[in-house]
Structure 1
Amino acid sequence: MIPASFSLTTTAPGTLGVSGALTFATAASALETARAELDRSGQTTLDLSGVTHADSAGLATLLALLAHARTKGKTLSVANTPEGLQALARVSGVEALL
């Protein structure tokens, strides 16, 4: 069983570090927490190097965060995307969005 833990930390100026599982179990709270943090802090990069597991809900969460930033007139980039998440984005036809 995959643990359902998720956290955000400011890892560097302008960078929001995502760690833990980004899955169906964490997607709703991850989206809510990350939106609030991005709105509050104005971070411009999501660093996914700490993501231990991701599924399609995690991918949807990332896409929703990118869309949220766009609606706020901000540019948000994604760094250190785990290979499994890149593969999922590739087969889903959304790799270019990340």
Structure 2
Amino acid sequence: MKKVAFAVEQTDELCKVSGDLDFTTAKEALDRLGAMVGASEQLQISFENVASCNSAALALMVELKGLARRAGHQVTFNQVPEGIQQLARVCQVEEIIA
């Protein structure tokens, strides 16, 4: 399977993630999205254009929620891939990413 470059696009309080979100891109994703979470009191992150992802995406989401909470900010996720939603249920963290 061909890798799709990871990218982040932000307009106001909406951030769109695209490409592959996996162990090779998780650090870049945390750096970029973490900065956006810290700078925005309310941020929505859409995973609608994510081509593929793995458990690193769930770990990223949990960490972003923690960053937002510690900063007194809100972050919400939408268009979360079904596989990540299922993994969140198995790991009993679905309320964190909901």
Smaller-chain TM-score bracket:
0.7 to 0.9
- Gapped regions of structure 1 (runs ≥ 5): none
Per the TM alignment, residue 4 of structure 1 is displaced from its structure 2 partner at its CA by 5.8
Question: Are 2:77 and 1:78 equivalent residues in the alignment?
Answer: yes
Please give the alpha-carbon distance, in whole angstroms, between the structure 2 residues aligned to 1:84 and 1:34. 21
TM-score normalised over the length of structure 2: 0.87
Q: What residue is the counterpart of 1:8 in the other structure?
A: 8
- Gapped regions of structure 2 (runs ≥ 5): none
Please give the alpha-carbon distance, in whole angstroms, between the structure 2 residues aligned to 1:2 and 1:91. 28
Per the TM alignment, residue 69 of structure 1 is displaced from its structure 2 partner at its CA by 0.7
User: Letter of the aligned partner of 1:5 in structure 2?
Assistant: A
User: Letter of the aligned partner of 1:14 in structure 2?
Assistant: E
Per the TM alignment, residue 53 of structure 1 is displaced from its structure 2 partner at its CA by 1.2
Please give the alpha-carbon distance, in whole angstroms, between the structure 1 residues aligned to 2:2 and 2:60. 18
CA deviation digits over 1:28-65, x for unaligned, max 9?
A: 11101111122234451111111111111111011101
Could you say what secondary structure the match of 1:24 adopts?
A: coil
The question of whether the paired residues in 2 share the 8 Å contact of 1:4 and 1:26 is answered with: no
Identical pairs, percent: 35
The question of whether the paired residues in 2 share the 8 Å contact of 1:45 and 1:77 is answered with: yes
Q: What residue is the counterpart of 1:92 in the other structure?
A: 91
TM-score normalised over the length of structure 1: 0.87
User: Letter of the aligned partner of 1:33 in structure 2?
Assistant: R
Q: Paired residues, what number?
A: 97
Please give the alpha-carbon distance, in whole angstroms, between the structure 1 residues aligned to 2:9 and 2:85. 22
User: Letter of the aligned partner of 2:20 in structure 1?
Assistant: A
Runs of 4+ in 1 over 2 A off after TM superposition: 37-43
